[in-house]
Amino acid sequence: MYLCTEKLISIKIMERITLEYEANNAFMQSYLATAILAGFKVVENTANMTPFEKSLEDIKHGRVTRVKNVSNLLEECFQ
């Protein structure tokens, strides 16, 4: 039997589910709030977003890079 004491090896197994419910359903809202407190993560559905909304999400999450000119762009790309 081999026991590794230098590194902790962890495996994350995640499943993704989609819930559809009426927005004014108070029971589901409280149930989802409890699930979030228990550690569930809410992932927004980007399949129905317009290109503009997707661009705003990119800006919000810092996935946009600004460059001064073309030579600066090439430097950024090849770093």
pLDDT value of position 37: 92
Look at the chain and report how many structural domains it folds into.
1
Is there a domain that residue 77 lies in? yes
The domain of 49 spans 43-79
pLDDT value of position 9: 55
Is there a domain that residue 32 lies in? no
3-state per-residue secondary structure call for 46-77? CCCCCHHHHHHHHHHCCCCCCCCCHHHHHHHH
Is there a domain that residue 51 lies in? yes
Is there a domain that residue 54 lies in? yes
* Cα gap 64→55, rounded to integer Å: 9
Residues of the chain under the 50 pLDDT cut:
1-6
pLDDT value of position 60: 86
pTM: 0.40
Q: Which of 5, 32, 1 is nearest to 18 (CA)?
A: 32
pLDDT value of position 21: 82
Is there a domain that residue 33 lies in? no
